[in-house]
Amino acid sequence: MRIAKEELFNFPLKKIGIFGASGSIGKQALSIIKDHSNELKVEALCVNSSSDFLYEAVKEFHPRYVGINFIKDNHPLIRYCSLNNIQLFIGKDSASKIIEISNLNIALNAIVGSIGLDITLGLIGRCEILALANKESLVVGGGLVQESMNNHSTKLIPVDSEHSAIYQCMLGEKTDNLQKVYLTGSGGPFLTRNLKTFNSITVEEAVNHPNWSMGQKISVDSATMMNKALEWIEAIRIFQIKPDQIEIIIHPESIIHSMVEFVDGSYKAQLGSPDMRVAIQYALLGGERKNSSFPRLSFTEQLSYNFFPVDYNRFPILFLVKQWEKEGGNRIPIMSIANDIVVGQFLKREIRFVDIIPKIEKTVEKFANNSSLTKEELAKLTSQIQHYLGV
């Protein structure tokens, strides 16, 4: 008889579900789970269509539940799961079905794009800790997520490095004592590029981030600084702070992941190498600190850290997002939905880099109204925007 490790040591392994396991964040999460296999166990893995990756991960981590939206009928993963008593769900509702039946301690939403909202909403109330990387779900469905969080005990730990930093800075502090948040951003690959050459920016140049290695969509978002616009909204929603309490500052070295200022003129910052594994591990361990081999900083080699104000002419989305948040209604959700689509078009080389933000602006102007959206209305709006943008 095989005795489960948890029974042997009477020490329950935390059951982890990873949604978006084949992406940049998902893969790093798996490497962390491997390093902490005495505490963490992969219970569920979900991807969109990366069947070969999923097959290898299933063989290595032996989850109980596996979900994939698209897979060939004869893929060996299907036979492997059936022979090994692993429940495999196939189809667009595969992740939702797993959320319904699994009993997760910690769930990581590492899906990319506004489509991640369904997973975020599904997971609230179904797991103890929601490790949230999918910032778009907070942007597109902020009110819905907040409402659901208020009705359930699930704890949200942000994975986004800036929000993980703010979260850590606020531990032990009273929210009322928070005066200001400084949301740092590297400025991406085009911080100093001559504006006259923006017309000729290629996909390769846009995804080549100077400090972070990330998925393609967020890399383009970093190049337009839409990523910081999304993060500005993400910070408002997670920490329930007023928009004018958050200042975006350019910090090209990406060492200070964000800072907070308190009413007494004291500041706290969270620092580290630009390595997402630190924030992912922190969230997966429920806010516990454990040894790691991640790169360390040297304060004698790196002698200066720089900060600059935002250049709104270079990054107009940072001006627009503030205007749209002030105007309210459905503008911010439209921004995120449209961004998913036009970034996809840029990555397919159908539009130019300089077309991305103007197309989003036009879409917001076209569909803007002052209503706040239900989940059903959001789905309807998404298909209208897809149609408008030619998808």
Footprint of ligand NDP (CB under 6 A): 20-26, 46-50, 69, 95, 110-112, 115, 133-136, 160, 212, 214-218, 276
Residue 305: contacted member of ligand NDP, Mg ion, none (CB under 5 to 8 Å, by partner type): none
Please compute Rg for the chain using Cα positions. 21
Task: Pick between residue 166 and residue 360 the one whose CB is nearest to Mg ion.
Answer: 166
Is residue 275 involved in binding Mg ion (CB under 5 A)? no
Q: How far is CA 29 from CA 16, 64, 74, 238, in A?
A: 10, 17, 29, 22
Residue 276: contacted member of ligand NDP, Mg ion, none (CB under 5 to 8 Å, by partner type): ligand NDP
CB of 160 to Mg ion, least distance (A): 4
Residue 32: contacted member of Mg ion, ligand NDP, none (CB under 5 to 8 Å, by partner type): none
CB of 227 to ligand NDP, least distance (A): 7
CB of 77 to Mg ion, least distance (A): 32
Task: Pick between residue 125 and residue 215 the one whose CB is nearest to Mg ion.
Answer: 215
Residue 183: contacted member of ligand NDP, Mg ion, none (CB under 5 to 8 Å, by partner type): none
Strand partners, 47: 68
Task: Pick between residue 135 and residue 322 the one whose CB is nearest to Mg ion.
Answer: 135
CB of 222 to Mg ion, least distance (A): 8
Task: Pick between residue 160 and residue 261 the one whose CB is nearest to Mg ion.
Answer: 160
CB of 31 to ligand NDP, least distance (A): 13
CB of 199 to ligand NDP, least distance (A): 26
Residue 203: contacted member of ligand NDP, Mg ion, none (CB under 5 to 8 Å, by partner type): none
Sheet containing 87-90: give its strands across: 87-90, 65-68, 40-47, 14-19, 104-109, 127-132, 155-158
Task: Identify the three-state secondary structure at position 172.
Answer: coil
CB of 312 to ligand NDP, least distance (A): 22
DSSP secondary structure letters along 279-343: HHHHHHTTT------PPPP-TTTS-----B---TTT-THHHHHHHHHHH-TTHHHHHHHHHHHHH
- Closest listed residue to residue 381, CA positions, set 342, 332, 346, 315: 332
Angle at 386 between CA 388 and CA 108, to 5 degrees: 150
Task: Pick between residue 50 and residue 224 the one whose CB is nearest to ligand NDP.
Answer: 50
Binding residues for Mg ion, rule CB under 5 A, total: 3
- Phi and psi at 362, nearest 5°, equal -60, -40
Strand partners, 131: 108, 157
Cβ within 8 Å of residue 219, ≥6 positions away:
206, 207, 208, 209
Q: Which of residues 158-187 bind Mg ion (CB under 5 A)?
A: 160-162
Strand partners, 182: 247, 259
Output b/e per residue, 157-171; b: 16+ Cβ within 10 A: bbbbbbbbbbbbbbe
Task: Pick between residue 108 and residue 181 the one whose CB is nearest to ligand NDP.
Answer: 108
CB of 110 to ligand NDP, least distance (A): 5
Residue nearest to ligand NDP (CB): 23
Strands 40-47, 14-19: parallel, antiparallel or unpaired by DSSP? parallel
Task: Pick between residue 214 and residue 364 the one whose CB is nearest to ligand NDP.
Answer: 214
Interacting residues toward Mg ion by CB under 5 A: 160-162
